[in-house]
Chains A and B, each alone.
Chain A
Amino acid sequence: MDNKTSGTTHHNTVCPFCGLCCDDLTVRVNVDEATVTANGCTLGARGFAQPAADTRQPLIQGKTCTVEQAVQHAAGLLRSARLPLFGGLGTDVDGARAAIKLADHIGATLDHMNSEALLRNLLAVQDSGWMTCTLTEVRNRADLLVMFGSSAEQRLPRFYERFFNNQESMFGLGADERRLVLIGDGAASSVMQGDPRVTAIPCPTHRLGDIAAAMRTLLRGRPLQQKSVAGVSVVQLQDLVNRLAHAHYGVIGWLAAELDFPHAELAVQAISALAVDLNSNTRCSGLPLGGNNGDTTFVQVATSQTGYPTRISLGGNQARYGPLQNATDRLLADNEADILVWISAFDAERKPPASAIPGIVLGHAAMQCDPAPEVFFPVATPGIDHAGNIYRCDSAVNLPLRALRSTGLPAVAAVLNSITGHL
């Protein structure tokens, strides 16, 4: 940190706004305004620039109140609730700890806002396991990167910059020696297209699982009767299988959020199984990418404390896992919740779903809810307004978030622990 006339500059800042959690940002803070001045991207720039609005007070039915009044009111609502539901859950480790503690106390159900995408991976790994690697391994070892799907550039804007175009790597693999294969809808229109190291294989996204399954068959040396799969010729698939089989360290990536079609967990299973199969003779790892709003963080904390990753019911004094039953949308639609606690500390735009039941919202201070929830707590953003910890999308790495400014807004954990103390 160095003080300049134009505010304070923070180096090596961790960005919590996508699953990569890049930690090399330079962020300048001038009074309440945070601006990324180096190593930013569209998502990071937007995230840091969200206004702090630290003059905001909590609201009860849209009317300003003190934090104490809001806490008391929220505690009262939760005391009388029979089927409380915690949604959103966009927060840091401490916020997740506090949410699970409160939920355990009152027998609530917990469902992260990104559960649909999370479960595409979780259901696959719970059924068959997988072999994966983390980002530093990709950066140094991957001589062939195969992406099932092509939305990395939108969802993880610095992915290729940091993990494919890196000039330096540890084992003598230059950037020009790496190869990238993009498979999917947007393959031909990707920003990476045109790079001589890149091969694009267009196909419908919802057929990616079929492509992977066909490649597994070819890898085993079994013949396919079709001449093409999902519009891709078997000759081209055989070529890709050969390239993976001859790579020293292949990496097969995908973004679960992009695989937005029914039973996409089966596609994830086929893609990750392809990576596993290749290890009979060479090395290859799967790379589940994506994430935001503290989704990996919530999954890690919830798994360690309750045994389950998300969609956890803590009613009846014990944890139950309901990957389908405990979905926020379903619980609201079927009137199986009578109060919604919605948490979104990173993103003012991730608002609670419309619902007839009362809501307690712990939202980014710039969040505008219409209609006003029963109680609204403007909360601090981890990594800007307060220190904390966040997990990167590869799950293995947790990074420190630091306070870059002092806004006086309470952290999610502080609000929730205060409510728990009032029960």
Chain B
Amino acid sequence: MLIKLSAGTVYDPANGIDGEVRDLYIRDERLVENPGPDAVIDTEYDLRGKVVMAGAIDMHTHIGGGKVNVARTLMPELCRDEPVPGGCLTRSGCSHATPTTLLTGYRYAEMGYTAAFEPAVMPSNARQAHLEMADIPILDTGGYAMLGSDDFLLRLLAEGAEQERINDYVAWTLHASQCLGIKVVNPGGISAFKFNGRKLDLDDRNPYYRITPRQILQTLCRSLYELGVPHPLHVHASNLGVPGNFRTTLDTMDAADGLPMHLTHIQFHSYGTEGDHSFSSAAAEIAEAINSKAHITADIGQIMFGQTVTASGDTMKQYANHRHASPSKWVCMDIECDAGCGVVPFRYRDRNFVNAMQWAIGLEIFLMVDDPWRVFLTTDHPNGAPFTSYPHLIRLLMDRSFREDMLLRINPEAAAHSRLQGLTREYTLYEMAIMTRAGPARILGLRDRGHLAAGGYADITVYEDLANREQMFERPVYVFKNGELIVRNGDICALTKGATHTVRPEFDSGIERPLKDYFDRYHSIRLENFKISNDEMTGSIGSRIMPAACTARGKA
């Protein structure tokens, strides 16, 4: 099967192509070079005047695993209020904040996304995460395994284990949980909460293990660097949502000791204490730090106004935030000496000073970070807003006058405090392609995705070049996944099955000796049953595995 995409305007930042009219060729699953005049083209699409990008990649979205199901369980009213009927090809589903698994795939694909990554996979809950992601049609998926409050790691650190041992455990975890990155959530804080700790700053000691969040961050950053895992440590920093937390965030950046570190949903970690409400934007300080520290990347976790549900591994902070629950019901779970989960429904109100500031802070960081390769477009779905609000967010970033119109609608005191009025920047299509395609692919080590060069997988999205960028990005004209046309004029026209991206760093399997002892003595399941085998992934779980390349580096 040879497909020709003719004369589209191509934005392919990975290859430096900024709005050039080009032909693209797809043979079966992949992009190929021009096959020459004698080749028989099976299908040709005339893309004159249309915008062509790689399929979009969401590098941080809660789409699989226990906490999403807890959120659905807690909030059946979201499903009741927003049922989505099935179609000829599609199954029924519901809810935009906690969309059902199949609907998640349809909605992402309809917006031109072809891959999405679950950032908080507890190793003990990894089967559930993969089972649910395997049910999501079309999209490639993958997960970041959560470490940093698991008792095995904390015991190693407390014993003063060598870095090599830690590296073995980190690598073992990536294999056992079939993940492609490591995330740390409130480092050591989920554990501290189990010992009745309610607060843990970067240099505070865990009430039991006497080690600090800084040590955990340093050790894990170094592990991933030395193992050669492409994605740097994915950090949900300490003190989420706490006014004044921007100082912790700046200190967290320095805790990386210059090694690569990704700070996630950084909007929730960029708060100052100025003003009458003792709540202010520290976006300028955070953006300046990102601009000056080349080892740091961040995704935003933009909030949007409306009802959503927050779901996080950060039980310490979710418990503290439960008084803001709207409606007033919430769940916290301590899970398997591994981590935890807290689910708190939230309604962000544009007339509320703090919520309006949160909205402005996210946009300020987007607009003040200079390098689009180091910032990523997320709402921390569903925590800041459902992922379906991306087209609206894109318009806010690309269209200054629209942004200023929206600024008039929020709490006027917050609008007056915000720098947004003075920020004239408008993201270009090229920058948007970096932030939603080339950047995520690069930071995840996905060499065959996020670009349009020959040899890459043909994950391609084609848009009308509409002045209204929200309309443009919410309904692509065509979306191809692995070379197959799956969306036409914003509607699903074929269903495919994606794969699970993983990473396979080398390690000394001798780590299984202390692990087996740990599982036998303390755990409720056996080591052998904890690990997810490749056969189980492709068998009962039901997803193909695609390991990303991984080359060990020397000592950091």
* Chain A interface residues (CB < 8 Å from chain B): 12, 14, 23-24, 92-94, 97, 101, 104, 122, 125-137, 139-141, 162-163, 168-171, 248-249, 279, 282-283, 285, 300-301, 303-309, 314, 317-321, 387-389, 391, 395-401
Contacts and interface: CB of A to CB of B under 8 A. Distances in A.
Please give me the 8 A-B residue pairs with the lowest Cβ-Cβ distance, nearest first.
A307-B79, A398-B127, A129-B329, A318-B83, A133-B334, A317-B85, A135-B524, A136-B336
Interface in B217-256: none
A305 B332 contact: no
A407 B343 CA distance: 44
A130 B319 contact: no
A398 B178 CA distance: 15
Interface string B54-76: 00000000000010111011101
A338 B536 CA distance: 38
A169 B72 contact: no
B493 interface: no
Contact of B93 (A12, A128, A137, A306): A306
Interface residues of B, number: 67
A387 B535 CA distance: 11
B522 interface: yes
Interface in B178-230: 193-196, 208
B539 A387 contact: yes
A307 B331 contact: no
Contact of B151 (A125, A170, A301, A397): A170
Residue from A24, A308, A398 having most chain B Cβ neighbours under 10 A: A398
B94 interface: yes
Interface string B77-92: 0111001111000011
Interface string B517-556: 0000111111011001100100111100000000000000
A325 B66 CA distance: 27
B85 A303 contact: no
Contacts, number: 191
A126 to B, nearest CB: 6
Nearest to A391: B128
B534 to A, nearest CB: 12
B383 interface: no
A274 B314 CA distance: 22
B170 interface: no
Contacts of B66: 395-396
Given A136-B522, A168-B522, A307 B529 contact: no
Nearest to B339: A396
Given A140-B337, A307-B94, A318-B84, A128 B329 contact: yes
A306 B92 CA distance: 7
Given A129-B329, A131-B332, A249-B194, A136 B101 contact: no
A197 B94 CA distance: 49
A127 B341 CA distance: 19
Given A170-B151, A317-B85, A397 B100 contact: no
A170 B330 CA distance: 29
A308 B533 CA distance: 30
Given A283-B194, A307-B94, A398-B131, A170 B337 contact: yes
A127 B329 contact: yes
A417 to B, nearest CB: 12
A94 B521 CA distance: 32
A319 B83 contact: yes
A12 B528 contact: yes
A304 B101 CA distance: 6
A132 B335 CA distance: 9
A12 B92 contact: no
A317 B127 contact: no
B529 A23 contact: yes
Contacts of B529: 12, 14, 23, 399-400
B541 A101 contact: no
Contact of B69 (A97, A133, A249, A300): A300
Contacts of B135: 97, 304-305
Given A136-B338, A140-B151, A318-B92, 6 more contacts: A129-B343, A134-B124, A137-B334, A170-B522, A171-B208, A319-B94
Contacts of B177: none
A314 B92 contact: yes
Given A134-B333, A170-B151, A318-B92, A304 B522 contact: no
B308 interface: no
A397 B336 contact: yes
B379 interface: no
B125 interface: yes
Nearest to B539: A387
Contacts of A141: 194, 334
Nearest to A321: B76
A125 B335 CA distance: 18
A330 B76 CA distance: 22
B86 A317 contact: yes
A87 B448 CA distance: 46
Interface string B108-125: 000000000000001011
A134 B528 contact: no
Given A305-B102, A396-B124, A139 B329 contact: no
Given A303-B72, A304-B135, A318 B524 contact: no
